[in-house]
Structures are given as C-alpha cells and as structure tokens.
Amino acid sequence: MSLDRGAERRLFHLMGSHLGVATRHQAEALGVTRTRLEQLLRHGYIRRIGYGVYAHAASRLDWQGTVMAATLSVKGSVASHRTASALFIEGAPPAPIDLLVARSDCVRPFQLLGSRVVVHLTRFLPARERCRVGPIPATMPARTLLDLAAVERADELDEVLGELLALRRVRADAIEQFLRDPRHRKVRGAPALREALERATVLEVGKTESWAERQFRRLIAAHEIPHPVPQLEIRGPQGGLIGRADFAWPAAWLIVEVDGRRWHSGMRAQRRDRARDVRAAKAGWRTLRFSAGQIDSCPEAVLSELRTVLSGAEAGI
C-alpha cells in the first residue's frame, strides 16, 4: 500500500502538530476519504482511539495527547477543572480527564480507549472564557479557578490559586473583575474563590504565596529559624536571571523551594526544577526542596535539615 499521496502526508503532518491525533472530519477536510481512512486503519498506519478520533500507529500518546483526543471526541468541549489547571502549571497528570461543554452543544456518549473522562455541563461558556494551551482547548485560568472552587477543598484551591498567580498565568485583579460579572456572582464556586483570594498573601515583589509556602513560613517563624528573604532573584556569574527562590538565606547561600502537592510531581516540572537547581549550584547556591506533604506530616525533619545546613554554613562547612 503506497503512502505517498499528498492528502495522507497532510493528515500525518496534522497529527504531528496536534499531539498525535486527528478527527475523521479533519481528515476528510484534507482530502482523506472515509474509505481511505478505513484502509489506513486496516493496514496499521493509524489506530482508532475514540469516536471519530484517530492516532498515528507509530506514536505513543502522552497525557497531553490523550487530553487532546478527549476534547476532539466531545463536540465543543474544552479541558477544564483539574485537567486545565495541570496544563497551565505543567503538573502531574490528574485522573480522570475533566472536560467542560455548554449544554447547547451536542454531547454524545463516547469512549476514549484506556482513559476515564468526566464531562461537566455548563449553561455559559463564551469564547472569552476559552483559550488554548498549545493545541489543546481549555478554560481560561480565571474560569478554571471558578470551576475548581465548586469541587476542591479550600487548601487545594489555595494551592492552585497560588501556583497560577506565581507563574503569572492570571492576576488577582483579573480574577476579581471576572467575579464581578453578573453571570458569575451567584455561581456555586464564586464564594469559595472570593475567600481564597482574601486568604492569599501578597509579598513585596507582588507574588502571591501558595498554600504550601505559607505553611513553611509559619513553621520556621514558630521555631526561631532566621528569617529568610522571600522571592529573592537568583542570578548567575554573568548576571543572568536564574529564577526567583521561594525562600533564600543569602549569607548561607541557601535556597529553599517549597513544592506543591501535585504541581511539581510531573516529569516536565521535575526536569525544569532539576535544571534550575543545577544552574543555581553553578552560581554557588545550595537548594533544598520540601514538599507540601513533608511540611504537613514531618515538620521536625524539615526543621532538622534546615538547621543542619544553616549551622554548617555559619561554621564554614
């Protein structure tokens, strides 16, 4: 079977730019007929992964590709809730995949092979509350937070809010303006999101702390640990910005990063964190990382390690 036809090449190029997936309608728009799709399927060049959704047989879909396939499987849907927040923050893939779709759109029963998908219905999903993370359609950060506020615990919502603000995916004043929209004032998650904004602590540099960072700051304050510099700019030997440290003790050349429960556990986030730690080490800084779970359940171990490093720095070790 020959694969040198232009339509097929365009189809595989589209799959490559859309995280490995494409729909039957997209294939037909490129000139690949249904009959030709079935031939490609039978000969093992593509595989069906959902209703009218196909993937290149040689590619293994990652989590983002699976999310893309899910949005293609449900007409008019976008990634939402925990899924959208993980896309923005590049955190660990949550399960199940959350999709949001307007009630006016046609929602048909569907199955995405190997994945559980939850479809949330809404009466109101205008274009201004949608965006794309790469090729994936998703709810805008403010809308994502509003939807999460209706289903998440307060501490989890605080953590997501803190991460999105820290990464500058959204501004606090933009969320406040979003909540003033008459369509959002009485939505189920609106009161919880307003309370989360009130709890957020804004530092001098304008970065809002995550819930885990606030817990760490309270922990060291209660145990007479020397006060750190929050959000210190760490620069390399040539003056280039490496990043902002959650907490730093410049005299000890020590950085402490507080990693959220889920957002620093994804593979891409871990690689990014390791690369930054290496750059900081080359500039003379030592980095300690504590997870939210460690701060919650093992505070004495966190304090012990921190005291050891700080006392060693004072002794010139």
Q: Could you read off the pLDDT of 271-292 as tens digits, one per residue?
A: 778 889 999 999 999 999 998 8
Strand runs labelled E in 92-221:
97-102, 117-122, 130-133, 136-139
| Average pLDDT of span 2-14 | 78
Q: Which two tokens stand for residue 265?
A: 């556990």
User: How far apart, in Å, are the Cα atoms of 16 and each of 78, 174, 227?
Assistant: 20, 35, 50
Percentage of the chain beyond pLDDT 90 is 43
Contact criterion met (CB below 8 Å) for 38 and 25:
no
DSSP class of residue 96?
A: S
Q: For the chain, which domains are there? A: 6-56 (no CATH), 63-199 (no CATH), 211-314 (3.40.960.10)
**pLDDT above 90 (res 208):** no
Q: What is the pLDDT of residue 206?
A: 46
Q: What's the mean per-residue pLDDT of the chain?
A: 85
Confidence at residue 220, expressed as pLDDT on a 0 to 100 scale: 92
- Determine contact, residues 152/80, Cβ cutoff 8 Å: no
pLDDT at position 252: 93
Element (H, E) at 49: strand 46-50
For position 94, what pLDDT does the model report? 77
Looking at residue 112, what is its pLDDT? 53
Residue 293, Ramachandran bin (φ over 0: left; ψ between -120 and 50: alpha; else beta): alpha
* Mean pLDDT in residue range 20-30: 91
pLDDT confidence of 92, banded at 50, 70, 90?
A: low
Instruction: Confirm if 30 and 14 have CB atoms less than 8 A apart.
Output: yes
Q: Can you give the pLDDT at residue 255?
A: 96
pLDDT tens for 213-251 read: 888 988 998 998 999 998 899 998 888 889 889 999 999
Model confidence at 140, in pLDDT bands (50, 70, 90)? very high
**pLDDT of 205 above 50:** no
How confident is the model over 204-215, as a mean pLDDT? 64
**CA-CA distance, 287 to 306, in Å (whole number)?**
11
